[in-house]
Amino acid sequence: MKYSVTDADGHLTVRMSGRLTFSDMPSFLTLLTRLTPGTRSCVFDLGDLEMIDSTGLSLFIYAHDAGQAASFPVIIRNATGNVRSALERASFDALLTIE
């Protein structure tokens, strides 16, 4: 997984590419340390994410929990193909906003 983060006045956008798998857990959890009390929203742009496994899916639960604890929304945007299918099969639309 590769990612870049932009911060526009507390509105974070995380653009992800490649594959999000078990081996990416440490770097994803490090990424979550950027979600501070000053965070107003966090958008994960998955337009360039090619694949996600079950651990990758579970990492968005960590992000959701961080958002809930600090009262900001976590949004998944631009998921397509197999990534979108995996999110739908796991009923993530009941937990997160998926655009």
Q: Which domains does the chain have, with CATH numbers?
A: 2-98 (3.30.750.24)
pTM of the model: 0.93
pLDDT tens for the chain, 99 residues: list them: 999 999 999 999 999 999 999 999 999 999 998 888 789 999 999 999 999 999 999 999 999 999 999 899 999 999 999 999 999 999 999 989 999
Tokens found for residue 19: 């594959």
**Is 32 in contact with 48 (CB distance < 8 Å)?**
no
Q: For the chain, how big is the Rg over CA atoms in Å?
A: 12
Nearest to 84 by CA among 51, 61, 56, 59: 51
